[in-house]
Amino acid sequence: MNATIFNPLFLTIIVGVAYFFSRNDVWKKRIKYFGLFLLFIFTNLWISNLVLHLLEYESIKPEEVTTPYDIGIVLGPFLEVGENFPILSESNRFTQAIQLYKQNKFNKFLLSGNDNKDVAKQHLIDLCVPSEDILIEDISSNTYENALLSKRYLEQQGASSKSLLLITSAYHMGRAKKCFNEVGLNVTPLSVDYETSCRETWSISLSSFIPNYRALKNWERLFTEFVSIVYFKLKGYI
């Protein structure tokens, strides 16, 4: 897990520092209990899964796509360069987009993002995807730019009126869809890379209350997305 301000342990440490420097006994006790409460929340996998489940955008399902879309817009990250071969980056959205292409759910890729586009393109070619089926917008560095620059690219290609399938991770889809709506690009969202399911989310057992490292990773992802949503709202992107 990256040591960032969105790391829940970082927030817990701040509370610990406040407890250490507090000289007021009443506030010291309050800070202690607040820190314990945060630690429980941040290490509880069921709670983090519940919040993540509520954030994940439910879209059409792959089996509901009976006629292939002209273009599948896939948002980065795509692949990182490993020591000897490309490896998956943040999520499986790229891999699942490839599966959708192989299932004839869309005809051409539009890879949007400045994330190792040459490696991603070569990876697709190695998987027998024709180079003419791989379109690339490699300038955008955030979700709003994904939308804005994808629209410009498609307009330049005379393809803005084509049927478009937007493919990204379920937790990211809500913000992404709003960005594409804001720039006036008509897309059909297809969420991939679901982290949760209804059955797992709403079933509670004793193990649901055992501290779990995965909960920390969930919260870091959630905090990053929540802050991004607030920032995008302030900027008028969504």
Strand partners, 169: 192
**Residue ranges of the alpha helices (H) in the chain?**
8-21, 25-42, 45-55, 93-102, 117-126, 143-156, 170-182, 198-201, 213-235
Q: Can you say how many angstroms the Cα of residue 39 is from the centroid of all Cα atoms in its chain?
A: 24
- Specify the pLDDT at position 134: 96
- Specify the pLDDT at position 82: 57
Closest Cα partner for 129 from 160, 99, 161, 92? 99
- Domains in the chain, CATH or no CATH each: 8-56+210-235 (no CATH), 62-192 (3.40.50.620)
The angle at the Cα of 171, spanning 170 to 174, to the nearest 5 degrees, equals: 85
- Specify the pLDDT at position 1: 41
First-last CA distance in the chain:
29
174-198 in b/e form (b: 16+ CB < 10 A) is bbbbbbbeebebebbbbbbbbbbee
CB atoms near residue 78 (< 10 Å) = 26
Q: What single-letter DSSP state applies at residue 157?
A: T
Residue by residue, pLDDT tens for the chain (238 residues) are 444 667 888 888 899 999 999 889 999 999 999 999 999 999 999 999 999 999 999 999 999 999 999 999 999 888 765 555 555 555 588 999 999 999 999 999 999 988 778 888 888 999 999 999 999 999 999 999 999 999 999 999 998 889 999 999 999 999 999 999 999 999 999 999 898 887 777 777 777 788 888 899 899 999 999 999 999 999 999 9
Give the span between the Cα atoms of 221 and 73, in whole angstroms: 22
pTM equals 0.87
